[in-house]
Structure 1
Amino acid sequence: MSQPLPAEIFKAYDIRGIVDKSLTADVVRRVGHALGTLALEQGQKAIAVGRDGRLSGPELSGALMDGICAAGCDAIDVGCVPTPVTYFAAYELGCNSCVSVTGSHNPPDYNGLKMVIGGTTLALDAIQDLKKRIEAGNLRHAKADQLGQRTSANVLDAYVDKIVGDVKLARPMKIVMDCGNGVAGAIAPALFKRLGCEIVPLYCEVDGNFPNHHPDPSKPENLADVVKALKETDAEIGIAFDGDGDRLGVVTKDGEIIYPDRQLMLFAADVLSRVPGGTIIYDVKCTRLLAPWIKQHGGIPLMWNTGHALVKAKLKETGAPLAGEMSGHTFFKERWYGFDDGLYTGARLLEILSRSADAGAPLKALPNSPSTPELNIKMAEGEPFALIDKLKAEGRFDGAEQIITIDGVRVEYKDGFGLARPSNTTPVVVLRFEADDAAALERIQAGFRAALRAVWPGIQLPF
């Protein structure tokens, strides 16, 4: 048995922790050793390694590659690139395995690992098994003359060429682009210029301190600069990327944020025009207007768990051409690889919008309902799951037409829905509400307030 690892870094969809506290170079090297062992057991010979723009990236990716090579597996350094480019490298280099060293949209002192071995994204039990493997010492130790080779490869040009070869804009466009000082800034401006866009750039310099705003486009306050730039320039649409480039935010000329579940409507109608009868997957946080829209456009709606790794697994299982999450992860299997890619999603968005003289019109025409953004109840570690278990067992929701429990508790009413689910990444309960009108929204929220307080007395609610 080897030294135990900090349990809190082994999350549901990735490994994530505070640099030099729970996530040290030694911990990452040990994880790399386990990943190299796992890859070799599955007949894989190499793992591509990319990193985002965080200050800790070079040290941690170096430690990861040392660990991979210690097992006798090769490590291919693809450099400082968006997470989707690391995923792309696994295909482009033919190695089928990759790790992105990224803290995604977390604060600057965080970092982590998103892992794909043999074409499968590691999640849930597979991540816990990795921890057990390391602590049990179940690792392959290569002899000195059989250590893995560490090489480097540049896949950025191939990635840009692939998108430019696939996506065609009907006309040139002028766009606001906010990279939030995340790693997307290293490539997105050049990519979108090649697609035929004139760019009003915001924070496209990669800076792991994130000096301007947090790189998380799911939060409205982080899109304020995009709204302002759209007002002050003649750009016709605004896009924003998260810290590692796998999620997209969208803002119309008049400053309306088009949330990802409505973006998914636009993409679904487009994809279903070429893949009639296709299944479209969406997570439990998405609008209830999605299912009828998908049916109306000849598709099969499928609600699924939140989490990029879980959605990817379902995409693979069903052969669906498209999936999306409320958080901004969109997965195109039609014409692309099925991984979440904010840059490619942005390109596909502009391809559709460029067909209209008014770029915002197709977005403004999408069905909409009064809804809340994601609301969070902050709790102690472990409490969110306990609360949701109690809510499933004891919660009373008068007037509910259906209660869906695939991921938390989603209560469907004739005129709206309410959702409470435990986050798999931070100790919070995530809430979301939507209804036909403000009165129905308030009624549904009141019902949830009563149910939550009944099962967890003294709970502090954000609504």
Structure 2
Amino acid sequence: MSKSGIEKNIFKAYDIRGIVGESLDAFSVELIGRSIGSEAVSQKQQTICVGYDGRLSSPELCEALIKGLLSTGIKVIDIGLVTTPMLYFSTHFLETHSGVMITGSHNPPNYNGFKMMIAGETISSDQIQSLYERIINQRFLTGLGSSTQTNIQDHYLAAIYQDINIHRPIKITIDCGNGAGGICAEELFRGLGAEVKALYCDVDGNFPNHHPDPSNPDNLIDLQHNLATTDSELGLAFDGDADRLGVVTKSGEIIYPDRQLLLFAESVLKNHPGATVIFDVKSTKHLFQWIRDKGGVPLIWKTGHSLIKKKMKESNAILAGEMSGHTFFNDKWYGFDDGLYAGARMLEILSQFDDPSAVLESLPKSVSTPELNIQLDEGQQHQIIQALQEEAIFVDAINVIKIDGLRVEYESGFGLMRASNTTPVIVLRFEAESAAELATIQKDFKVCLEKYIEKDRIPF
């Protein structure tokens, strides 16, 4: 811990995140609360909602955060153990426009952190750095705040029930990975009229069965097995704070979130022709033409839930999605990322068909990799990617997009490398029309990466 009582490197591009007992403890979290509260009050916010996920450290960190918030004079509504989308929902439903979610999302159990909304905006980048500067300079407001407790869950479920119409009692298996989604996922999907088999829906911050991250295929093995051995038609999986959705078909095929977005875009654009649909740099190349063909305007953007939400406001986009599993509906929902709501929208579409898996598996598909990671030391990922942005040359590329790392477009597909903003890794993804073309693209990337990283650490 630094002399100020706070580590600078926990202030990431779109949230605050660190290791509990090292960069995050009760003292540092109270300082974060004082900073967030001061910023909210300075923006004329009177009340802020606070919720936390199912991690073992979350209740203690919540107590410290609220102590810091109250010292600035702001009113706190403590909504307890919730999903991150329920926290976002509470800021709309309770009209606070500001909120803090204590969550480690999909990171290892010893991590935790904070996702923040102030005055209706999910804060990111420079705004998050300004919270750190406020702490360093001790620019804290003081006052006497008050705290109340409210249960938001019934209101959240009621809002989804009012919004979603499932056409038949589709049979599904859900896997919450012992994350916060377990508090209401089973109730939600049963209430919508689905027949539900539930895996790991008891909230347990030890994550005893598998890690709550549906972007990793290893974490979907139990769901695939259940689909193979039961009469369930479809599998839905959620991450630790339930703002991301994973989908598995009856045959066990993983429908990665960028392909999910193809289906969502088609559905939404039927009622909103000409609307903008955003996808992040990790997403399939098929989205460009698919969105145009369905009457929409495709827009590629940086990875990161708060960065996507900000771009949605700027462009008035109707829908957005990230390869990691965050999907944002802005047509008849609130424009925030919500894995449970996205699952409900998925069922609304697929319940119109006798064979939901066939619909999903028929979506455009290339040969592709999941997200691949290269583990590095803290901060090293940004240094390497910046150097590669400046010097890397791709002779056969038709376009190089540098808004977030390097997305190199080829006639047959694309390759991507970018610095993660949540953990010290370089994230890679590749897509092509054939395995041979995929290997060719990967070879280009390997030549560049080997200047900075040992061969045996590159995962292809």
TM bin (shorter chain): over 0.9
Q: Which of structure 1's runs of 4+ aligned residues deviate more than 4 A?
A: none
- Partner Cα separation in structure 1 for residue 274 and residue 377 of structure 2: 44
- Partner Cα separation in structure 2 for residue 264 and residue 160 of structure 1: 23
Letter in 1 for 2:342: T
CA contact (8 A) 1:180 1:242 kept: yes
Partner of 2:437: 440
Return the offset for 1:457.
6.3
CA contact (8 A) 2:175 2:200 kept: yes
1:73 aligns with 2:74: yes
Deviations for 1:48-103, whole angstroms, at most 9, x for unmatched residues?
00100111111111111111110000010001010000000001111100000111
Partner of 2:98: 97
Partner of 1:365: 362
Return the offset for 1:346.
0.2
Return the offset for 1:205.
0.4
1:226-375 equivalences under 5 Å are: 226-375=223-372
Partner of 1:48: 49
| CA 1:458–1:221: 2 relative to 1, 3 Å | closer
Residue 273 of structure 1: SS of its match in structure 2? helix
Deviates more, 1:11-20 or 1:266-275: 11-20
Deviations for 1:157-191, whole angstroms, at most 9, x for unmatched residues?
11000000000001111100001000100011001
Out of 179, 182, 187, the position equivalent to 1:185 is 182
Out of 156, 159, 162, the position equivalent to 1:162 is 159
Residue 87 of structure 2: SS of its match in structure 1? helix
1:398 aligns with 2:395: yes
- Partner Cα separation in structure 2 for residue 364 and residue 210 of structure 1: 30
| CA 1:359–1:395: 2 relative to 1, 3 Å | same
- Partner Cα separation in structure 1 for residue 24 and residue 387 of structure 2: 33
Deviations for 1:23-68, whole angstroms, at most 9, x for unmatched residues?
0011111111111111111111010001001111111111111111
CA contact (8 A) 1:2 1:134 kept: no
Letter in 1 for 2:341: Y
Partner of 2:112: 111
CA contact (8 A) 1:395 1:452 kept: no
Residue 356 of structure 2: SS of its match in structure 1? coil
The TM-score with structure 1 as length reference comes to 0.97
Return the offset for 1:381.
2.1
Deviations for 1:424-447, whole angstroms, at most 9, x for unmatched residues?
111111111110111111111111
- Partner Cα separation in structure 1 for residue 171 and residue 123 of structure 2: 39
Aligned CA-pair RMSD:
1.2
- Partner Cα separation in structure 1 for residue 284 and residue 271 of structure 2: 24
Partner of 2:135: 134
Partner of 1:27: 28
- Partner Cα separation in structure 2 for residue 261 and residue 148 of structure 1: 43
- Partner Cα separation in structure 1 for residue 230 and residue 425 of structure 2: 39
Letter in 1 for 2:223: V
- Partner Cα separation in structure 1 for residue 433 and residue 135 of structure 2: 51
| CA 1:16–1:357: 2 relative to 1, 3 Å | same
CA contact (8 A) 1:105 1:243 kept: yes
Percent identity of equivalent pairs: 55
Residue 124 of structure 2: SS of its match in structure 1? coil
Return the offset for 1:382.
2.2
Return the offset for 1:2.
8.1
Deviations for 1:330-351, whole angstroms, at most 9, x for unmatched residues?
0001100000000000000000
Return the offset for 1:241.
0.5
Residue 251 of structure 1: SS of its match in structure 2? strand
CA contact (8 A) 1:2 1:136 kept: no
Partner of 2:421: 424
Partner of 1:123: 124
- Partner Cα separation in structure 2 for residue 295 and residue 103 of structure 1: 36
Residue 367 of structure 2: SS of its match in structure 1? coil
Deviations for 1:191-210, whole angstroms, at most 9, x for unmatched residues?
11000011111000011111
Gaps of 5+ in 1: none
Return the offset for 1:3.
2.3
- Partner Cα separation in structure 2 for residue 4 and residue 72 of structure 1: 22
1:191-202 equivalences under 5 Å are: 191-202=188-199
1:208 aligns with 2:209: no
CA contact (8 A) 2:5 2:27 kept: no
Letter in 2 for 1:456: Y
Deviations for 1:2-24, whole angstroms, at most 9, x for unmatched residues?
82411121111111111122100
Letter in 2 for 1:109: N
CA contact (8 A) 1:420 1:432 kept: yes
